Structure 1
Amino acid sequence: MIVSDLVVGHSYGCYGPLLNGSTTVIYEGKPIGTPDASEFFRIIHDHKVVSSFWSPTALRIIRQHDPDNKHATKYQSKHFRALFLAGEHCDRDTLLWAREIFAEKPVIDHYWQTETGTPITAVCLGLEKHPNLGPPGCAGRPCPGYSLHLFSSDPKCIEEEESSSDELGRIVVKLPLPPGCFSTLWKNDQLFHELYFTRYPGYYDTMDVGIRTEDGFIETSSRADDVLNVAGHRLSSGHIEQAIVESGKVSECAVIGLKDDVKGQQPFAFVVLNKHEENTAAAEIEKAIIATVRQEIGPVAAFKKFVCVKRLPKTRSGKIARNTLTALLNGKAFRIPSTIEDPTVYDDLRKELAQVGYKNLGESSQM
């Protein structure tokens, strides 16, 4: 097993392999530039790795720097059995690309939180001989021990109202939580109860939103705070991001809400283009992205505004700091988290936004 991220170092890099009698290969470094985008695949080949754990961001970065799949297919991985993804939602396009690269071996996205210590939803390969991987974009079904429910994501609704299939809902877990989950916050029992158990008595509030398919698979979309209110319509920023990536022009993006006096909010995207699209005419890129969002989400998204950037602000574990992008674009002061890999990214973003006419940007300070 190879672990490429620090975010799950204890469970996937230590306890799990030891309990299973497995050898762990821990790689410290980036998936590109050491010397190229084939590094993860070289490690899998050289050490006969059978399973691996990556973040979706790692896949997107590799794909961005290897548009022809030359590096990703450089090494054979005949011993390899499955790739597991977590840390953030993996869009359909990236997941299908990964399955193609790994010769249709299982590439499985699953969903959990630091608070839970174990996956909330997953495809449990060990429980079934030929498990149903579910639709691309989904993170499996609820794991044993989790009684999962999706309640109305409307902030005005505090009733325990179950969402229908394929309807955006707030993800909650009926108590009791299974063994291994957190039992308090450090020296703050009161905040622990207020934050996670007050809104829905008898349930743990994940503060995430998603949808449940008719077959019971869960697609986690975004944090509840990242749901956009566009002219009275509640839209998942994650769904819009997935549509943008599926345009074929973009390797990764972040969608946030731009304040609008009429509609409340407008979706605005920071997009990083694929390497082979960097010299494509701006009008062609704009047409492709807007058309794909309209097709996948519908005209209700009213998506028209985005900016092409070289990189996004990410933590060292690969997560995009969307809240700082929201503050930056809407002219609100914010503090740069200490976990941001490279704080100078915000200087670049200011210049890129200024070049396309955005001014009165939020001021930042170091934490």
Structure 2
Amino acid sequence: MSFATFYQRSIDEPSAFWTEQARRIDWHHPFSQVLDDSRPPFARWFVGGTTNLCHNAVDRWVATRGEQPALIAISTETNTEKTYSFRELHAEVNRTAAIMQSLGVGRGDRVLLYMPMIAEATFAMLACARIGAIHSVVFGGFASHSLASRIDDATPKLIVSADAGSRAGKILPYKGLLDEAIKLARHKPEHVLLVDRGLAAMDTVAGRDVNYAEQCQLHMDAKVPVTWLESNEASYILYTSGTTGKPKGVQRDVGGYAVALATSMDAIFCSKGGGTFFCTSDIGWVVGHSYIVYGPLIAGMATILYEGLPIRPDAGIWWSIVEKYKVTRMFSAPTAIRVLKKQPPELMQKYDLSSLQALYLAGEPLDASTSSWISSALGVPVIDNYWQTESGWPIMTIAKNIENKASKLGSPGLPMYGYKVRLLNESTGALCGANEKGVVVIEWPLPPGCLQTIYGDDQRCVATYWTTQMPDSGRPAYSTFDWGIRDEDGYYFILGRTDDVINVAGHRLGTREIEESISSHPNVSEVAVVGVEDKLKGQVAVAFVIPKVAESSAEGRGRLEAEIMRVVDQRLGSVGRPARVYVVGLLPKTRSGKLLRRSIQALCEGRDPGDLTTIEDPASLQQIKEALLG
């Protein structure tokens, strides 16, 4: 079957198409309706069916693949490696599920995970899925203020954390950050379950804090039955940056997500049970949820969980893992590959990479030179893919297992099955033709596996994503907030963001979040943050601040910049730290007071600032130019 036929059937006959795909997973009770589209722009998939993510990822493989590797946890930070078979993973998940139940966690309760990349984090995610609790994983790089806002939104009954993480040999004490976050938060969890790695001293709170290892001993032989969930019950909440400063909790379902991942592992990632999948992301991001934890395990594969950097102890570490564990499919980000491109080639060439069949890259646009280099160096297809936290799985790529179509440099590929992707003219709302720039939108309904809503806020979900209507069908359209262009062959090219979210090394950051943290500095009057193109990271944040008390000396400006960096580290974590903070006396604004972000960004990137007919004071642009010149 050609991909065009496969795709068109998913659009024209969604019920028949997704009924076939739903056979890829186990259902405890069959669904009575494939798609409930009675309440646009929302959609409910596989209505009435009951299933469970943990069962499909772990339990169903114990009988046939019980001794096969399931989870391979590697840390170059602590120099540890441990492989868990499906049978061993099943036992660990049962223990963790029993601990959670003993702490009062049940179906529908939220459990927040603030953890490093360790096996216990995977156990906790799967344990939540097993008992019907809703997990919310917060990236370990976030600082206390960011963590507190997520605690208040999710209102977890339990938080699972650790004494510390480690990056480049530097210990990152999680427990202190968590304690501070709980102090800042209005909501207080009943318990905190702590994995003590022996990396940092911990102060424990009597009656609240519980030691994970001690609890495991109490539940060593636990057998916790799977809680069968209706397909549309929530499986997890994952927070993503927004333009308002308040993080958005993307809520995912159970059945639709399981079917979407099972289908993608076959159609897109060409994965076979018994293979090994190495996704280098973090479980705090959507790629980690879908393609470290759930996707590979649902496909009956071993999955690698890696704590460490791609260049430590040396830049051959990832390739040594590929050789040792016979990795068949690898998933990473262009930023990481650009880092490795700078390293001596012999660090790759010394390893046997013959098991590797493909490398998938996502998180930011893939430039042609990086793609060409890594494809030539590995001798395998390099397949770009484009998606978002909200989609849960690729929106655009090349589905090689359906049809081995060619990739095009700079393009993530074609719209995937189920996604009716269109381009709309920003000014007129009309459909764009070939080679015409427009906003990338997806016509309702979204396919299985995509966001159900923003947790606890349907109205915000509609107001954020669904304010556009298709000019031809009149149906609602989901906005990706990305510019794109489509060539005459139907391949899409992503051109950047239309909103104020920037993409740093595959991590989406709201400029408003960074601005709010900078504004908390006592000597900051106004601030503007823009995303600026960076050859290594794709984009970096650059800040321009107007101080309350002017800093006339270079030394004073340098001191203020360093102080602001520390403030952002404390409030957002290093992930939100700007690459530079420039001190200016004016910020470019329109006469109505709107910041001219695109003009600031253009100057930072050495481009023409564009139409400035509405600028209030042209001298403000000159100040930006002078600041950039130093």
Does TM, scored on the shorter chain, surpass 0.5?
yes
In the alignment, which residue of structure 1 is the partner of 2:499? Answer: 225
In the alignment, which residue of structure 1 is the partner of 2:318? Answer: 40
Given the alignment of the two structures, is residue 55 of structure 1 paired with residue 352 of structure 2, yes or no? no
**C-alpha displacement at 1:199, in angstroms?**
2.9
Pairing partner for 1:203 from 474, 477, 480:
477
**C-alpha displacement at 1:76, in angstroms?**
2.1
What is the CA deviation profile of residues 55-113 of structure 1, one whole-angstrom value per residue up to 9, with x for unaligned ones? 1110011113x1x523232312011100111111111111111101111x111110111
Given the alignment of the two structures, is residue 109 of structure 1 paired with residue 384 of structure 2, yes or no? yes
In the alignment, which residue of structure 1 is the partner of 2:291? Answer: 12
What is the CA deviation profile of residues 245-266 of structure 1, one whole-angstrom value per residue up to 9, with x for unaligned ones? xxxxxxxxxxx9xxxxxxxxxx
Q: Structure 1 31/341 Cα, relative in aligned 2: closer, same or farther at 3 Å?
A: farther
- Partner secondary structure for residue 17 of structure 1: helix
Q: Structure 1 79/359 Cα, relative in aligned 2: closer, same or farther at 3 Å?
A: closer
**C-alpha displacement at 1:42, in angstroms?**
1.1
- Partner secondary structure for residue 370 of structure 2: helix
1: CA distance, partners of 2:577 / 2:440: 35
1: CA distance, partners of 2:568 / 2:308: 23
Pairing partner for 1:147 from 420, 426, 436:
420
Are the counterparts in 2 of residues 52 and 82 from structure 1 also a CA contact under 8 Å?
Answer: yes
Are the counterparts in 2 of residues 121 and 141 from structure 1 also a CA contact under 8 Å?
Answer: yes
1: CA distance, partners of 2:467 / 2:447: 19
Are the counterparts in 2 of residues 48 and 80 from structure 1 also a CA contact under 8 Å?
Answer: yes
Aligned amino acid, residue 391 of structure 2: T
Q: Structure 1 332/16 Cα, relative in aligned 2: closer, same or farther at 3 Å?
A: farther
Alignment of structure 1 residues 174-323 onto 2, 5 Å:
174-200=443-469, 202-225=476-499, 271=534, 320=539, 322=540
What is the aligned-residue identity percentage?
32
Pairing partner for 1:92 from 368, 374, 378:
368
1: CA distance, partners of 2:280 / 2:292: 9
What is the CA deviation profile of residues 324-364 of structure 1, one whole-angstrom value per residue up to 9, with x for unaligned ones? 41xx1475999848555366664x6659x99x951799xxx
- Partner secondary structure for residue 307 of structure 2: coil
2: CA distance, partners of 1:94 / 1:226: 26
Larger radius of gyration: 2
In the alignment, which residue of structure 1 is the partner of 2:107? Answer: none
In the alignment, which residue of structure 1 is the partner of 2:406? Answer: 133
2: CA distance, partners of 1:57 / 1:339: 21
Are the counterparts in 2 of residues 331 and 360 from structure 1 also a CA contact under 8 Å?
Answer: no
Q: Structure 1 339/114 Cα, relative in aligned 2: closer, same or farther at 3 Å?
A: farther
Q: Structure 1 194/136 Cα, relative in aligned 2: closer, same or farther at 3 Å?
A: same
What is the CA deviation profile of residues 258-315 of structure 1, one whole-angstrom value per residue up to 9, with x for unaligned ones? xxxxxxxxx996656xxxxxxxxxxxxxxxxxxxxxxxxxxxxxxxxxxxxxx86xxx
**C-alpha displacement at 1:178, in angstroms?**
0.5
Aligned amino acid, residue 464 of structure 2: L
Are the counterparts in 2 of residues 2 and 52 from structure 1 also a CA contact under 8 Å?
Answer: yes
Higher fraction of helix: 2
Pairing partner for 1:73 from 349, 355, 360:
349
Q: Structure 1 126/97 Cα, relative in aligned 2: closer, same or farther at 3 Å?
A: same
Q: Structure 1 10/269 Cα, relative in aligned 2: closer, same or farther at 3 Å?
A: closer
Pairing partner for 1:119 from 394, 397, 404:
394
**C-alpha displacement at 1:206, in angstroms?**
0.9
In structure 1, runs of 5+ residues without a counterpart are 228-236, 239-255, 257-266, 273-310, 313-318, 362-367
Are the counterparts in 2 of residues 169 and 211 from structure 1 also a CA contact under 8 Å?
Answer: yes
Q: Give the paired residue count.
A: 264
TM-score (norm 2): 0.38
Aligned amino acid, residue 345 of structure 2: N
Q: Which runs of 4+ in 1 moved over 6 A?
A: 332-335
- Partner secondary structure for residue 178 of structure 1: coil
In the alignment, which residue of structure 2 is the partner of 1:242? Answer: none
1: CA distance, partners of 2:419 / 2:532: 34
Are the counterparts in 1 of residues 319 and 351 from structure 2 also a CA contact under 8 Å?
Answer: yes
Aligned amino acid, residue 118 of structure 1: W
In structure 2, runs of 5+ residues without a counterpart are 1-276, 470-474, 504-510, 512-529, 549-563, 584-603, 605-622
- Partner secondary structure for residue 206 of structure 1: strand
**C-alpha displacement at 1:188, in angstroms?**
1.3
Given the alignment of the two structures, is residue 341 of structure 1 paired with residue 574 of structure 2, yes or no? yes
1: CA distance, partners of 2:439 / 2:414: 16
RMSD between aligned residues: 3.4
1: CA distance, partners of 2:281 / 2:544: 30
Q: Structure 1 126/341 Cα, relative in aligned 2: closer, same or farther at 3 Å?
A: farther
Are the counterparts in 1 of residues 435 and 485 from structure 2 also a CA contact under 8 Å?
Answer: yes
**C-alpha displacement at 1:207, in angstroms?**
0.8
TM-score (norm 1): 0.64
